[in-house]
Amino acid sequence: MAAAERRGIFITGTDTGVGKTLVAAGLARFLTERGLRVGVCKPVESGVANPADLGPDAGLLKWAAGSSETDDLISPYRLSAPLSPDQAAKLENRRIDFNKIAEAVDSTATKCDFMIIEGAGGLMAPLAGGLLVADLVKQLGFPLLVVARTELGTINHTLLTTFAARTMEIPTTGIILCGMPETPDQAQQNAPHALASLASCGVLASLPAVDGSERQKVQSLAETLASSPTLPWLLSALNLTRRLSDYP
Ligand SMILES: Nc1ncnc2c1ncn2[C@@H]1O[C@H](COP(=O)(O)OP(=O)(O)OP(=O)(O)O)[C@@H](O)[C@H]1O
Ligand SMILES: C[C@H](N)[C@@H](CCCCCC(=O)O)NC(=O)O
Ligand SMILES: [Mg+2]
């Protein structure tokens, strides 16, 4: 399928553990509940205790999207060690092949309205022999969505990520801040405004810290998205405004 005909995003983060999976799954849930066929892929997941099964990230994405794709299409590389993917792959004498990932993504994308791909770690995390997550993003051809934490330090990490994306000519749709507490401190109150004025792309949502199991958190974030005042910007940035109005 030609890149221009495919709708979707590649979700990266400013670091590992910043909320990429929750944002990806929350968005998948939100869109699926509105009738869109959402394809999901976690091309490389490291730290998978039992690689015969889906890891926690891919499993949550599959649940959120209600996907019936095979495990190998949703999660082409499942690696045991909770390390940088290239290192985890080396420990198993494996090499991550971008063409295999591209085939899996293409095969899913042809069957769905919107594709959500979650990277591993941040944009510069190494995947294979000097190739980084950013190189995979370029090969797959989907625009980037950057998930960032809310605490002090996030301005620097987020701007470094968007700057690196721009330098590598990777189109970035925007930033989502994830985990805003009910009572944000001064740094957290300032972060969305600072990023909105300094980054070369918009802040498309500021999502709250939510409670419960991982699935409950995803459901809460999907509901938050539905009532978010910035939802129109988010949908427009994802090129989904018209598509969603076609559905109930
Ligand atoms: N908005 C939030 N509210 C509550 N908990 C959150 C929120 N965002 C993330 N978390 C929690 O923080 C942890 C890390 O989040 P998540 O797994 O989404 O990170 P990640 O960026 O996908 O990490 P990785 O690089 O391993 O893929 C999880 O336990 C998740 O439940
Ligand atoms: C083990 C982590 N949870 C994550 C990989 C993080 C790599 C970070 C590399 C680095 O920047 O040092 N794996 C994953 O997202 O599948
Ligand atoms: Mg994740």
pLDDT tens for each residue of 112-149: 999 999 999 999 999 999 999 999 999 999 999 999 99
Query: CA of 225: how far to CAs of 26, 67, 69, 160, 218, in Å?
Result: 8, 20, 25, 26, 11
Distance CA 66, CA 68 (A): 7
Q: Is 125 in the pocket of ligand 2 (CB under 6 A)?
A: yes
Let me know: does 172 contact 201? Beta carbons within 8 Å: yes
- The one-character DSSP state at 4 is G
Query: Is this complex scored with an ipTM above 0.85?
Result: yes
CA-based max dimension of the chain: 49
pLDDT at 241: 87
Q: Is 129 annotated as a binding residue?
A: no
Task: Give the residue-averaged pLDDT of 18-46.
Answer: 98
Q: Ligand 1 mean position to 20 CA, how many Å?
A: 6
CA nearest neighbour of 239 among 31, 52, 67, 24? 31
Residue 42 among the catalytic residues: yes
Question: Which atom of ligand 2 is the closest one to the Cα of 82?
Answer: 1
Whether the pLDDT of residue 235 is over 70: the answer is yes
Nearest-CA residue for ligand 2 atom 11 is: 125
Whether 121 is in the pocket of ligand 1, judged by its Cβ within 6 Å, is yes
pLDDT tens, position by position, 161-192:
999 999 999 999 999 999 999 999 999 999 99
Q: From the CA of 19, how far away is ligand 3's center (Å)?
A: 7
Domains and their CATH numbers in the chain = 16-241 (3.40.50.300)
62 has binding-site annotation: no
User: Residue 48 CA: which ligand is closest?
Assistant: 2
16, 21, 57, 75: residue to mutate for ligand 1 pocket, most atoms within 8 A of CB: 21
Beta bridge partners of 41: 117
**Residue 179 Cβ < 6 Å to ligand 1:** yes
Q: Give the position, in ligand 2's atom list, of the atom nearest the Cα of 15.
A: 11
43 sits in which H/E element: none
